[in-house]
Structure 1
Amino acid sequence: MTKGRVLVIGSNATRIEVQGGWRATGQYLNETVVPAMAIIEAGYDVVLATPDGTRPHLDPASDAVDHFGGDQDAYDRAKSFWAEHPAMTAVRTLRSVIDEGLDAYVGVFVPGGQAPVVDLMQDAETGKILRHFHDRAKPTALLCHGPMAVVSAMPKAAEFRAAMIAGDVEKARDLAKGWPYVGYRMTVFSASEEKVVEDQILQARMHFDMPSALTAAGGNVVTTDVDFAPNVIVDRELITGQNPRSDHPIAATFVAALDRSLVTA
């Protein structure tokens, strides 16, 4: 018997705005499958849903054994899980999940890759889902760039994002009023880690860094001094992981939170 259903919110974005144009982007393989596999192994069902109901596009930069600690077997298992497991192939729309009833879910997880910065950060249905889990103090986990999805829970998320792209931080702060995560401790992909991606992958500069955006929203953002060191922050129901190497730690922390919530339910 399953312990309950966990919603995984995926992104449909395939490109991201940068200074001077656009670059290809997507969701990260390890950040998606490592937590999903751990959740299923712990006895929960996983339901993957995206804004338009199609499978997330994987960032080619994530399709590498290096993101699995150089472990070829782990990489192969991850690839097989992504390609074949029904939890990853039977994708639903966020709207259908909402219409079915969010009370059917015991937790929610948002993986990273830069893609969530494009769509989930300003998606109204993502915002509705996150507010539901926040209001009921249900475990809410987000990894790497995934924490940017919490911006969607503010009343004017799209306007906030546009203000950050325009470099108008003061306007963004004003637009963030009513955000339910004000004062929460959280982490996200750091500015110095982003610079590595800008230099080595995008070969372009982003319009804003993630910690600055979440700080402008009202979050208490904590990142490591060492780039790509695992980091997981827990504050109330919110569980955030900083970077791809936080995949296993956030999975373990999230599963523990799900198990605790069953005991207290």
Structure 2
Amino acid sequence: MATKGKILALISSGRGLPLKDGKVYTGAGYYLNEVTVPVRALMNEGYEITFANPTGNTPQVDVHSEVVGFFGGDAAKLQDYLIFRDGLLGFRDPVRIKDVIASGLDQYDAIFVPGGHGPMIDLLDDPNAGIVLRHFHETSKPTAVLCHGPISLLSALPNSWEFVAALAAGDVAGAHAKAQGWIYAGYKMTIFATAEEQQREPLEIGGKVLFYPDFALRTAGGDVSVVPPWGSYALQDRELISGQNPFSDEAVLKLLLAALSEKKK
């Protein structure tokens, strides 16, 4: 059966999120609902999903996401999505991002980057992720990023590693200076809010992040807005679709499906 199109999903390869005071959150990874809810719906619509990450290793789930709270309090729904996840062979054995680039990015209709803290480890300054995002920007193809996923947009900076290093060191002026030439400067966008991160730091990661995601995107030049903690919030500006937190999964999906339909007209 012919597919409706192909979508590239970028996932983190990370295993440990560096925190302040030399701490590391070893449980960092992807959030279950942020991957499975959009992916399942896209597959049901007839789209083929290619999963890719920096090293080609099996992505690590954040166990804090394997809970009923992110599935409407429905235990049966949680189990259903766990089974769905476990049946995704391409997710267990993703392609390396550099190999996706070599095989050609024109074959993909959209890109999707789910969250969890994983993208804060590696996708934010991965040079190959930057190549991929610049392609989707230059071709005006839908670019959907969710929760911590929008931090991957920093990889499209000309000096992403230097920007991230300056921000982690607390050199905000230096980071801002390194943000010149960012393709998403001035874009309206959202990402996991400082207030949400501060709630999860003691409960989930056991320390303080090196910098807050919304502050990072603002420093780079993004027009960042957020709503009060844990409300569903997604918005679109040109090709970019972004959602604030795990509860924004359906809202991001709705905008992405609409954008894909519009591109096919």
Q: TM-score, length-normalised on structure 1? A: 0.97
Aligned-pair distance for 1:54? 1.5
1:138 to 126, 137, 141: 141
Q: Distance in 1 between matches of 2:212 and 2:125?
A: 16
Contact 2:59 2:91 in 1 (8 A): no
**Are positions 1:159 and 2:145 aligned together?**
no
C-alpha contact 1:38 1:255 (8 A) present in aligned 2 = no
8 Å Cα contact 2:7-2:109 kept in structure 1: yes
2:121 is aligned with 1:121: no
Choose the corresponding residue for 1:218, options 216, 221, 229.
Answer: 221
What's 2:86 paired with?
83
Aligned to 1:105: 108
* Contact 1:26-1:115 within 8 A present in 2 as well: yes
Unaligned runs of 5+ in 1: none
What does residue 245 of structure 1 align with?
247
State the distance in 1 between where 2:76 and 2:263 align: 33
Counterpart residue number, 1:230: 232
Partner Cα separation in structure 1 for residue 71 and residue 202 of structure 2: 22
**C-alpha contact 1:127 1:154 (8 A) present in aligned 2:** yes
Structure 1 Cα separation of the partners of residues 93 and 41 of structure 2: 18
1:31 matched to 2:10: no
Measured in 2, the distance between the counterparts of 1:160 and 1:130 equals: 17
Question: Which residue of structure 2 aligns with residue 149 of structure 1?
Answer: 152
Tell me the percent identity: 39
2:260 aligned partner, one-letter code: L
Distance 1:90 1:42 in 2: 23
Whole-Å separation in 2 of the counterparts to 1:138 and 1:204: 37
The alpha carbon displacement at 1:153 in A equals 0.2
Amino acid at match of 2:125: Q
Deviating above 4 A after TM superposition, structure 1's stretches of 4 or more consecutive aligned residues are: none
Provide the residue aligned with 2:16 in structure 1.
15
* Equivalent runs, 1:170-209 vs 2, <5 Å: 170-209=173-212
Separation in structure 1 between the aligned mates of residue 25 and residue 56 of structure 2, nearest angstrom: 23
Aligned partner of 1:18: which letter?
L
Which 10-residue stretch deviates more, 19-28 or 183-192?
Answer: 19-28
Q: Distance in 1 between matches of 2:258 and 2:83?
A: 26
Q: How does 1:34-45 map to 2 (within 5 A)?
A: 34-45=37-48
Q: Give the TM-score of the pair, scaled to structure 2.
A: 0.97
Q: Deviation digits for residues 119-139 of structure 1, max 9, x if unmatched? A: 000000000000000001000
Post-superposition offset of 1:87: 4.1
Question: Which runs of 5 or more structure 2 residues have no equivalent in the other structure?
Answer: none
The match for 2:72 among 69, 73, 86 is 69
Contact 1:10-1:56 within 8 A present in 2 as well: yes
- Measured on the aligned residues, the alpha-carbon RMSD in Å equals 1.0
Please state how far the C-alpha of 1:29 moved relative to its aligned partner: 0.7
